[in-house]
């Protein structure tokens, strides 16, 4: 039997997108089949940056061009941006499974599942890029998501708060609007892909909320107050409008959403 941390590390280091997706799916399958186990003594490797295509050009967030979805170039830019988010999400999930030790076995199974699902999302979007005659790496992107991994590498509680409960939860808020605009533009295939992604991301936010609450309980912390304190400490803003139904399904309470909306 192999350790889950090394399996996650191998997938995390893979630079070729197809190889990374295959490795993430294989790691999850091996976990489900009982071929992987958590081992707190397994070596912890520094992986920064994670494996990604050498051709990918990373630029400051403000340098990523914005285009209208009414034109094919604008739709291509949006698909590429979301594909980049999903590719980073694979790495973030794998990093959680590799980096954090001494947690219940279910933690590692959950994050390998997330990695496998993010890989499936990336594959859907890469197929949409191909339909536009493009591929991942053809357009510039920014490194904001992996910067969140750097900022939260020291503590799984902070990671659960600031990645699934902030970044992925923001995706729950904005994806319905993207779906509506792409539907109006007649891009039914990308709409179908985004509907799958939105459905699965609710579960990913719920996983983050579950482990955030678990870690708070373990440390004797009140979750809602701790979450708001971390937002202040890390100068992270959470703004409405919220996709209330999706956030409730993702582990937020109505009281918490009201407090966040009030600022």
* Enclosing domain of residue 116: 73-262
Q: Where are the alpha helices (DSSP H) in the chain?
A: 4-13, 17-32, 72-99, 105-131, 144-151, 156-162, 169-184, 188-219, 223-233, 244-249, 254-262
Mean pLDDT over residues 165-191, rounded?
A: 95
Q: Give the chain's largest Cα–Cα span.
A: 53
Rg (CA), the chain: 18
Q: Is pLDDT above 90 for 258?
A: yes
Query: Whole-model pTM?
Result: 0.95
Q: Could you read off the pLDDT of 231-243 as tens digits, one per residue?
A: 999 999 999 999 9
If one compares 64 and 146, the residue with the highest pLDDT of the two is: 146
Residue 197 located in a structural domain? yes
Residue 205 located in a structural domain? yes
Q: Could you read off the pLDDT of 215-228 as tens digits, one per residue?
A: 999 999 999 999 99
Q: Is 53 helix (H, G, I), strand (E, B) or coil?
A: coil
| Residues 185 and 227 sit within 8 Å (Cβ to Cβ) | no
Q: Is 63 helix (H, G, I), strand (E, B) or coil?
A: helix
Q: Residue 192, Cβ neighbours under 10 Å: how many? A: 14
170 alpha-carbon distance from chain centroid: 11
Q: How many Å apart are CA 97 and CA 82, to the nearest integer?
A: 23
22 alpha-carbon distance from chain centroid: 17
Q: How many Å apart are CA 8 and CA 98, to the nearest integer?
A: 5
Mean pLDDT over residues 146-159, rounded?
A: 95
Q: Residue 7, Cβ neighbours under 10 Å: how many? A: 25
Mean pLDDT over residues 45-61, rounded?
A: 89
Residue 30 located in a structural domain? no
Q: Is pLDDT above 80 for 205?
A: yes
Residue 209 located in a structural domain? yes
% of the chain residues with pLDDT over 90: 86
Determine the pLDDT at residue 72.
84
Determine the pLDDT at residue 1.
59
Q: Is 168 helix (H, G, I), strand (E, B) or coil?
A: helix
Q: What is the mean pLDDT of the chain?
A: 94
Question: Residue 164 maps to which CATH number?
Answer: 1.20.1260
Band of residue 211 on the pLDDT scale cut at 50, 70, 90: very high
Q: Is 216 helix (H, G, I), strand (E, B) or coil?
A: helix
Backbone angles phi, psi at 197, to 5 degrees: -60, -45
Q: Is pLDDT above 80 for 15?
A: yes
Residue 42 located in a structural domain? no
Residue 15 located in a structural domain? no
Question: What is the total count of domains within the chain?
Answer: 1
Q: Is pLDDT above 90 for 10?
A: yes
Residue 66 located in a structural domain? no
Residue 163 located in a structural domain? yes
Mean pLDDT over residues 73-79, rounded?
A: 91
């Amino acid at each position: 039997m192999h350790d889950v941390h090394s399996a996650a590390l191998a997938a995390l280091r893979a630079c070729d997108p197809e190889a990374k997706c295959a490795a993430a799916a294989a790691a999850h399958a091996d976990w489900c089949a009982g071929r992987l186990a958590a081992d707190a003594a397994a070596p912890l490797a520094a992986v920064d940056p994670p494996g990604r295509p050498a051709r990918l050009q990373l630029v400051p967030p403000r340098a990523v061009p914005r285009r209208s979805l009414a034109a094919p170039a604008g739709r291509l830019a949006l698909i590429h941006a979301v594909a980049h988010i999903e590719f980073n999400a694979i790495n973030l999930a794998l990093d959680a499974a590799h980096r954090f030790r001494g947690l219940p076995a279910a933690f590692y199974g959950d994050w390998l599942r997330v990695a496998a699902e993010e890989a499936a999302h990336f594959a859907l979007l890469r197929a949409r890029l191909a339909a536009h005659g493009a591929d991942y790496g053809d357009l510039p992107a920014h490194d904001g998501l992996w910067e969140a991994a750097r900022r939260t590498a020291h503590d799984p509680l902070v990671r659960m708060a600031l990645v699934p409960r902030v970044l992925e939860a923001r995706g729950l808020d904005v994806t319905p609007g993207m779906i509506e605009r792409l539907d109006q533009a007649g891009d039914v295939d990308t709409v179908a892909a985004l509907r799958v992604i939105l459905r699965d991301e609710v579960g990913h936010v719920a996983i983050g909320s579950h482990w955030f609450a678990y870690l708070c309980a373990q440390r004797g912390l009140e979750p809602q107050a701790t979450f708001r304190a971390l937002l202040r400490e890390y100068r992270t803003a959470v703004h409405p409008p919220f996709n209330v139904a999706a956030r409730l399904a993702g582990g937020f309470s109505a009281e918490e959403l009201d407090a966040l909306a009030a600022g």
